[in-house]
Amino acid sequence: MTIRVLAAGDHFVQNRLLVDALRREVPGEVDIRELTLPWPVEPFGRVGEVDEASDVEEELIEALRGVEVCVTQMAPLTKRVLDASPDLRLFCVSRGGPVNANLEAAARAGVAVTYAPGRNAVATAEHTLAMLLAATRRIPQTHADLAGGVWRGDYYTYDRVGPELEGNTVGLVGYGAIGRRVARMLEGFGATVLVHDPYVDVPGKVPLDELLGRSSFVSLHARATPETAGMIGAAEIAAMPRGSVLVNCARGALLDYDAVCDALESGHLFGAAMDVFPEEPIPPGSRLLTTPNLIMTPHLAGASKQTAMKAASIVAADVARYVRGEPLAHVATP
């Protein structure tokens, strides 16, 4: 029996990766259609009732006619799409969470939604460490000066140099797949690692206030939930030692960015590095664009070739389980 699949890839998790993984993993005949979404050339946004999706409802509805399985990263699974796609039974999102899918509407329609946990854990952990080092050693700023023909010896003065990782304490807020990898890397640098995460029990676990008060470096790795929204604000940053460094490669909702700017401008924070923001893209005129000692990257901590390949393999493996009649490994719907 032939199963009809839509590969709705984009310019990161490309259709060729999805198709290759499906051909490799799925038994039997597979009829694969393709739809290429515009992300990341065009930013994602809210589409209907779902977040962080490409605005392609019309194209998706047309491509899903007669399709039983869809594998994608950014396609919007809205109620409108579900109502127009009666043959759809499985929607595989190649991301760490299916934020672009209406899970309640999917469950009512009898459509299982899966996702790809851990796909970008290695890339994000490596990027976190790079951001931490770049902020501490002021690599972007010094490079910009040199590229502009300026040799600034004052960067070597005692008050301008940052701390070393070896012998210092790093606090990790959140200890999932990414946080654990960051901890292993930091231990290789000779740092002491503290952890705050209510869902794990590991050596070095401490209350948040203790972690903030003892850490020369703090890195955020928690998921964005109603409980974690705004968990690091002005009071929490003030509790960090003067001259410390704050890194966020997790979610913008975790952090009060005005408080970060205040702490950098006052000199309370030596530096900060951010890959995620409360509004993306960053709007013109934002304080973030002019605050000193702030390093930023455009939400690409998880961007690596291996992340894209892992994402395709994880969703293809769940399609194979579906075809074989086995339980899905990463199902998000009831």
Domain ranges for the chain, please list them. Answer: 3-119+304-324, 121-296
Task: Please tell me the chain's helix, strand, coil percentages from 3-state DSSP, rounded to the nearest 5.
Answer: 35, 20, 45
Instruction: Using the CB atoms, write b or e for 95-113: b if 16+ within 10 Å.
Output: bbebebbbbebbeebebbb
pLDDT tens digit string along 147-186?
999 999 999 999 999 999 999 999 999 999 999 999 999 9
| Equal fold, 3-119+304-324 vs 121-296 | yes
Q: Give me the pLDDT at residue 170, please.
A: 98
* Domain at 3-119+304-324: CATH code: 3.40.50.720
The pLDDT value given to residue 1: 76
By annotation, the residues acting in catalysis are 251, 280, 299
pLDDT tens by residue, 134-144: 999 999 999 99
| CA dihedral angle for residue 93, residue 94, residue 99, residue 105, rounded to 10 degrees | 10
What's the pLDDT tens digit per position in 7-35? Answer: 999 999 999 999 999 999 999 999 999 99
121-296: CATH class: alpha beta
